[in-house]
Amino acid sequence: MSTTKISSNPLERIALSCSGGGYRAASYHLGAMAYLNRLHYQGKPLLENVKMISTVSGGTITGIVYALGKAHKEEFETIYQFLVGQLKHLDLVKAGISQLNPDAVWANPAKRKNLINAFASQYDTHLTRGATLADLDLGSTHLEAAVFNTTEFTNAGDFRFRNKAAGYCGNFYLKVDAATAAEAKLGDVMAASSCFPGGFEPILWPHDFVHDQAPRLKELAEKNAPTGLMDGGIYDNQGISSILNYRKKDPTPYFDLIIVSDVASPYMDPYQPAPEAAKTGFYKWTLKDLVAKSASVSNRVSYVLLGIVLLGLLIPAFTQFKPSFVNGLSVGFAAAALILWIGKLLAVKRLRSALNWVIDRLTGKIPGFYRNKLSHLHVEDLSLHRMEPLLLDRLTSLVNLLMNVFLKVVRRLNYNILYHNPAFDYRRIGNLIKQLTEQDFLNSRTRLKQDGGPDPNVARHSVLNGTYEEVIGPALKKVTEEAAGFGTTLWFTDQDVVSDMLDKLLITGQATMCYNLVEYLEQLIYTTNNGFAALPEAQQQAIQQTYEQAKADWATFKATPGFMLQMNLKRE
């Protein structure tokens, strides 16, 4: 049992991190923020106690739109309606790819014409409306800091863009002063944060950030070599490190509560090797067989073409080459066949030359020691049914390593920093997209039992005790299971729109945040000897009132999952 006491000001200073995950993340985090805006503490929305947001990739879409809206003094409902409309109707992939067509307008010649810059242009047009980091003046808002995380490829570190009051941009190795960073367009920042490997090439800092109104960035680009920026999730897909580094010199944690909103799955499918194909038909061919058959086909084509040439010349010869339609046609066919034969010879020669060049380039990259070892493998004698698993197993394991293993290792490391440090007891909430699914619910209950179970006083008062059907219920189960299974994309398909996937992600974000706040508030109020009883009575009452509202909302979510959409957040 933890001996850490609760903060003397629970719920006063909140940090919110929003993970990556494409439109799934953007929608889920927006739903989570919508519930924070609904739940009140001491007479105002709990969202207004969020002092810092730290976002990654898809979470940065929501984070930038929200922070920019607050800087423009917009109400939450206005920001919500705008972003929902864009998420529902903007197919970023279609719009971005279309912009790469030769006849498409490329407004900024300073940018390389590639996919990530095409996306940056779409973000700039549709989501940030030309705004720069200078427009992110949060002085009159509830936010102290807004941090948008990317990963830089020169020093392998987190490269942070943030509002001026939060400090310099970049990192320890590449510090960017506030005046220079202020010129960066928020659309470019959004693109850098969501530039996931495989789907995009890196966006170059500062060269791809230069525009007509950015003299400092232009000068910086002229004096420095570029560095590649990509998805912040490569370094920290939850944005936790930026929060932990904020005011880290303070003797006690600066934030009373850190909420980690995360759509990444903690689970992985087991590795499956490629099945070995049957050694029949084409699969039994070796490289030597393929070369032999190709040579045989090439020779046959040559024989046919030379036969046509010979026949085309023999026919006129029998008539002493007298001018006639038949003789002219024969000579024409002979000439055409001769041209094709010469063309084939040249093409085969060029193909062999190109193939040798590729082989030389590839083998030239292999160190001599390994090249000598590999020479003992007679590749030309391997059949395709043997070669296929050799290649596919390496490819699939590499993709799995990059897209799953590495990300989950990084995720675990950052979570461990937050969850294994007793200083953050009663100061953290994990708001995870799979929490309300049956699998995750049962797993969490198993882990809780293994850890000794909840505080008996909390268990006695909790409204979250019971079976999965009792606690979550069938209505929420249907919505959250579908939302948790949605893939990482930057668009909603027509079928997704028909099935209201956006609504399901929003509802899941709202309901999961409500569930976690109910659980957190029960721990604050009912855990034995945690310091709650020492709080001023007015503060205890305010926390109790917030808890009562969250309990009532949870009951409503179980009965009518979409009630928030129906009541106060109407859309077209």
Question: Residues 500, 501, 502, 503: is their CA dihedral positive or negative?
Answer: positive
3-state helix, strand, coil in the chain (%, to 5): 60, 10, 30
* Given the residues 54, 57, 193, 265, the one annotated as active site: 57
Distance CA 569, CA 510 (A): 12
The CA-based dihedral angle spanning residues 322, 325, 328, 329, taken in that order and rounded to the nearest 10 degrees: -140
- The contacts of residue 534 (CB under 8 Å, 6+ apart) are none
Which letter does DSSP use for residue 276 in this model? P
User: Pairing between strand 40-41 and 44-45?
Assistant: antiparallel
Is 57 catalytic? The answer is yes
Distance between CA atoms of residues 408 and 414, nearest Å: 10
How many degrees, rounded to 5, is the angle at CA 268 between CA 264 and CA 272?
145
135: exposed, middle or buried (Cβ count in 10 Å: 0-12, 13-18, 19+): middle
Residue type, 562: G
Helix (H, G, I), strand (E, B) or coil at 515: helix
Catalytic residue among 188, 231, 496, 553: 231
Residue where the block lists tokens 């060029």? 350
294 as an active site residue: the answer is no
Identify any residues that bridge with 55 across adjacent strands, giving them in sequence order.
Answer: 18, 148
Q: Strand, helix or coil at 44?
A: strand
Our separate counts of H helices and E strands in the chain read: 23, 12
Active site (catalytic) residues: 57, 231
